[in-house]
Amino acid sequence: MSIIGTVREVLQASTQSTNRGDVTDEESKGAYWCDDCGERVRDVDVEGEAPPDCPTCGDEMRFERSTGTTGCAC
């Protein structure tokens, strides 16, 4: 019984991780910044590999978590 339960959990976990990319909510966990240019790209706007390159200078951008302007910190 415990083995079946474990397998089921694994299957659910893999299914959830597979579906996660399809979720299109706009909940941003932070943004990518280029300190030199002041460029900012929200993490939800990044397509493909992260971190993205700065559109202005091409340097790798730095991720900065949202400081809780929306929602609570807990």
Which residue ranges make up the site for Zn ion (CB under 5 A)? 34, 36-37, 54, 56-57
Nearer to Zn ion, 34 or 41 (CB): 34
Q: Minimum distance between the CB of residue 34 and Zn ion, rounded to whole angstroms?
A: 3
Q: Minimum distance between the CB of residue 58 and Zn ion, rounded to whole angstroms?
A: 7
Q: Which residue has the tokens 């339960």?
A: 5
> Could you tell me if 26 and 44 are in contact, meaning their C-beta atoms sit under 8 angstroms apart?
yes
Q: How far apart are CA 61 and CA 41, in angstroms?
A: 9
Q: Minimum distance between the CB of residue 35 and Zn ion, rounded to whole angstroms?
A: 8
Nearer to Zn ion, 27 or 36 (CB): 36
Number of alpha carbons in the 13 Å side-chain half-sphere of residue 74 = 0
Q: How many CB atoms lie within 10 A of CB 10?
A: 10
Nearer to Zn ion, 8 or 42 (CB): 42
